[in-house]
Amino acid sequence: MKKRVAVLGATGSIGKSTLDVLRNGKDDFDVVLLSSHTSYRLLKESARDFPDAALVISGEIPEGTRAEEGIAWYGRKGLLRAIAEAGADITVNGISGAAGLEPSLAVLDTGADLALANKETMVLAAPLVNARSAEKGARIFPVDSEHAAIYNLLRAHGQENLEEILLTASGGPFRTIPLEKMAAITPEQALAHPTWNMGPKITIDSSTMANKGLEVIEAAGLFSVPAEKVRVVVHPQSVVHSMIRLKDGAVYAQLSKPDMRLPIHQALYGDDCVPCPFGRLDFDALTLDFEKPDFDRFPMLALAYQASRNGGLYPAVFNGANEIAVASFLKKGISFLDIPRIVGYVLNRDWKNSGVTMEAILEADSRSRALAESYILHSLEK
């Protein structure tokens, strides 16, 4: 029997890679739902290979705008209704940013498995997400290449034997640039990632190493370990996707070519090992380098560890402030080095709270964004 699949964020980089995997596995999958935030034409083009999929535009339609032919649902509520009614066995959440949290919870509410590429889901609300997953009996399969590697390594060697997670990072395009030149980095330079092809926000996050910081928080939530047990290792080739060190000192690694289609393939097939044409590694000319991260060069990584150690709402605050800072940098409203200044300013406010509830998360997210915008407006904007 074919597995029924929904793809959220189908027109983004994760979504496009997912559709490649689904085309390759057309005998194993039925695509029942595709969503995009605003890219109507691209969504319609993507759906040509999946004619049975219901289509959703999750952005709100401006008043007076005619609904487009072939779109079953519109808006945030339309997306949540579509998730509830799709009858998917597994849903890939490739939505970017904090907007992906509510759809992740909606997927778990149906009892369907969640192939999770939206790292903000675990960053903002790991306790809620893990509780919902357990309550509904729905599995979470990480789609980030690093977390997919850790998931498979722990499945093979046992969570109970884990000493620490070694989370690899490419180091981005500015790993070796002189420190005195970093203030002059432009959005165009930051968008030129040496290894991965990603959307603009995540590419900027990679250049500041905020992305790796978010992945530290995500790993702590996914695998129920403190951030101190998640150690970042810079590995420029992006071939070793992560490692685990066991209590006996042995280190195990997962290697493949940097191709997001491999972890997506693994997530869609669950715990079954199915032949995959993506990510095959050639050992004939392979060099692997490893080094410590430079926290002075990349203060966003240090701030992420601070947020994870503080726990509670601090990870949501880190994420919200960073999203505002990155958006301003992309518009050339602030400098590259202003990004950690903004996030540090917001994070160092008092965000202690009695508990991580959905209401508290949304309030912290909103307040952190407002504080970041105010700081940019009154202190930094050019």
Round to whole Å and give the CA distance between 4 and 197: 27
Q: Which pLDDT belongs to residue 71?
A: 85
Q: What is the pLDDT of residues 91-111, one digit of tens each?
A: 999 998 889 999 999 999 999
Q: Set out the domains of the chain in order of their start, with CATH numbers.
A: 3-142 (3.40.50.720)
Known binding positions for 1-deoxy-D-xylulose 5-phosphate: 119, 145-146, 170, 193, 206, 211-212, 215
Q: Average pLDDT, whole number, for the chain?
A: 93
Could you tell me which of 126, 221, 216, 212 has the C-alpha nearest to residue 165?
216
Whether 331 shows a pLDDT value over 60: the answer reads yes
Known binding positions for NADPH: 11-14, 118, 120, 199
Spatial strand order of the sheet with 251-255 comes to 230-234, 162-169, 240-246, 251-255
Per-residue confidence band for 199, with pLDDT thresholds at 50, 70 and 90: confident
Q: Which pLDDT belongs to residue 60?
A: 77
Q: What is the pLDDT of residues 271-302, one digit of tens each?
A: 899 999 988 898 888 999 999 999 999 999 99
The dihedral built from the CA positions of residue 216, 219, 224 and 229, taken in this order, carries a sign that is negative
Q: Which residue has better confidence, 184 or 355?
A: 184
Round to whole Å and give the CA distance between 219 and 214: 9
Round to whole Å and give the CA distance between 167 and 248: 19
Q: What is the mean pLDDT of residues 42-48?
A: 92
Cα atoms in the 13 Å half-sphere on the side-chain side of 305:
13
Of all residues in the chain, the percent with pLDDT exceeding 90 is: 82
* 8 A C-beta contact, residue 135 and residue 200: no
Q: Which residue has better confidence, 369 or 190?
A: 369
Whether 312 shows a pLDDT value over 60: the answer reads yes
Q: What is the mean pLDDT of residues 45-63?
A: 88
Q: Which pLDDT belongs to residue 197?
A: 61
Whether 64 shows a pLDDT value over 70: the answer reads no
Q: Which residues of 254-285 are buried (b: 16+ CB within 10 A; e: fewer)?
A: bebebbbbbbbbbbbbeeeeeebebbeeeeee
Q: What is the mean pLDDT of residues 47-62?
A: 89
Q: Which pLDDT belongs to residue 279?
A: 80
Known binding positions: 11-14, 118-120, 144-146, 170, 193, 199, 206, 211-212, 215
Known binding positions for Mn(2+): 144, 146, 215
Q: Which residue has better confidence, 202 or 195?
A: 202
Per-residue confidence band for 378, with pLDDT thresholds at 50, 70 and 90: confident
Q: Which pLDDT belongs to residue 67?
A: 64
Could you tell me which of 28, 26, 41 has the C-alpha nearest to residue 10?
41
Which ranges in 25-66 belong to alpha helices (H)? 40-46
Could you tell me which of 174, 122, 111, 172 has the C-alpha nearest to residue 144?
122
pTM: 0.91
Whether 193 shows a pLDDT value over 80: the answer reads no
Q: Which pLDDT belongs to residue 172?
A: 86
